[in-house]
Amino acid sequence: MTKSVLFVSAFALMTSAAVAHHGWGSYDASKPITVAGPIVTSKFENPHATITVQASGKVWTVTLAPTSRMNNRGATEKVVAVGQNVSAYGYPSTAQTDEMRAERITVNGKTYEMR
């Protein structure tokens, strides 16, 4: 009994750890979505910039590109600053709810490719 409880809790711990992290493999490219709304938080950081967006009653975490590529494409820190209205087209995470990887974003009528 003690053994099976231990086994089950160990298994639960392992699977929760596995769910907690997700790599680039865990996005569903067959179900592209668009998340549009104001930027709530913005991290212009490596290995990839991330923003959170208030959209349809939820706060989405949107994973963008490495900062050097963001700058090269013109999607600078100011473009993805808090308060900007963004429309992000991309793929929802299969591992984390309300998280997506952006293929491209549009801010102030200008579209920036993230890949």
Partner 1 sequence: MTEGAPALFVALEQSGFAASIRQSTWLYPAANIGHIVSLTFFAGAIAVMDVRLLGGLAATAPASLLARTRSVAFAALVGMAMTGAVLFSAEASHLAVNRAFQLKAALVAAGLVNIAIYELWARRAVERLQPGAPMPARAKIAGILSLGIWVAVAACGRSIAYF
Task: Name which position in 4, 46, 56, 108 contacts partner 1 (CB under 8 A).
Answer: 46
Q: Which two tokens stand for residue 26?
A: 């865990």
By the 8 A CB rule, do 53 and 86 touch? yes
Indicate the residue among 47 and 57 with the shorter CB distance to partner 1.
Answer: 47
* Alpha carbon distance, N-terminus to C-terminus of the chain: 52
Q: Does residue 109 belong to the site contacting partner 1 (CB under 8 A)? A: no
Contact status, residue 53 vs residue 62, Cβ threshold 8 Å: yes
Q: Does 23 bind partner 1 (CB under 8 A)?
A: yes
Q: Helix, strand or coil for residue 112? A: strand
Query: Which residues have a Cβ under 8 Å from the Cβ of 61 and sit 6 or more positions away?
Result: 50, 51, 52, 96, 98, 99, 100
From 2-10, 14-22, 32-40, 81-89, give the range in contact with partner 1 by CB under 8 A: 14-22
Q: Which residue lies nearer to partner 1 by CB, 21 or 31?
A: 21
When the beta carbons of 28 and 45 are compared against partner 1, the nearer one is 45
CB-based contact 18:72 (threshold 8 Å)? no
Q: From the CB of 26, what's the least distance to partner 1, in Å?
A: 8
Closer to partner 1 by Cβ: residue 66 or 73: 66
Q: What is the contact surface with partner 1 in residues (CB under 8 A)?
A: 16-18, 20-25, 43-47, 66-68, 71
